Amino acid sequence: MRIVSTVCELREYVKTWRSIGKSIAFVPTMGNLHAGHLQLVNTAKKKADRVVVSIFVNPTQFGAGEDYETYPRTEQEDQRKLQAEGADLLFLPSVAEIYAPDARTEVTVTGLSDLYCGASRPGHFSGVAIVVCKLFNMAQPDIALFGLKDFQQLTIIKTMVRDLNIPVEIVGVDTVRELSGLAMSSRNGYLTDAEKQVAPKLYHSLCVARDAILAGNLAYADLEQQASQFLQQAGFQPDYFSVCRSSDLKKAGAEDVELVILAAAKMGKTRLIDNIYFSR
């Protein structure tokens, strides 16, 4: 596996691969890799000839008081995992390589970026959009893969790619879960042992709501309220629990068939997100 830290080096490899007719898949990450990230790499290998992975803890998507400085950074272990998984190139840029000191350009997907996690974390999705847009321009992939755990993020990236005519296919990959059902996340490492016993109830609440809907209960507001009460009683601080249309994340109505239930809640100091999507 090649490791580069500059855009110039990255583009040279991409140019060489393209010159011999190779297709390129891209997996952007913030490091601290777990089985969910490695599933993205594994899927990428099946869809393209060469796989590029980036590790960049992006400062623009962290708000005031969030964990940018303490976000887990495990580059040596990440490199070992990517080597074992068969990635072809790792892009490890500095902040200065990604952002000019006098950068003025912003990328915001209006409407979608203000909902759910965007309401709780103002500016977060603009930070995501600008860095993903820049990474696409740097890596110039044919296909890019993202985890479906961050369903809102994936929807925003798909919309940005469509609106800006970026020539990359976006593929969502199913959430990888621990045996308990807890969605794998770098932030799970912040949970205490006791909190980790309770945290899987977030996914359980999603499954209960989904099963109720599939059984014919379309009183979505009631289901949302019941789930929030359940989470609160379990020890969470619920942020949102919303039954939405999977296409645009607007509140679902009785006529909607393709659904996603989005949820976020704090367990102790750790903010957890999860979702479940299905057709009824």
Q: Domains in the chain, ordered, with CATH? A: 2-173 (3.40.50.620), 186-279 (3.30.1300.10)
> Which tokens is 97 given?
């390589």
Active-site annotation holder among 34, 37, 124, 204: 37
Share of the chain above pLDDT 70, in %: 100
Residue that has been written with the tokens 């103002």 in this structure? 122
State pLDDT tens for residues 234-275.
999 999 999 999 999 999 999 999 999 999 999 999 999 999
Average pLDDT over residues 192-218: 97
Residue that has been written with the tokens 């909190």 in this structure? 195
- Please indicate whether residue 34 is annotated as part of the active site: no
d(Cα 57, Cα 221) in Å, to the nearest integer? 37
Residue 193, classified by CB atoms within 10 Å of its CB into exposed (0-12), middle (13-18) or buried (19+), is: exposed
Average pLDDT over residues 149-175: 98
State pLDDT tens for residues 106-156.
999 999 999 999 999 999 999 999 999 999 999 999 999 999 999 999 999
Share of the chain above pLDDT 90, in %: 96
Q: Are strands 89-91 and 2-4 parallel, antiparallel or unpaired?
A: parallel
Report if pTM > 0.75. yes
Average pLDDT over residues 175-200: 95
d(Cα 145, Cα 173) in Å, to the nearest integer? 7
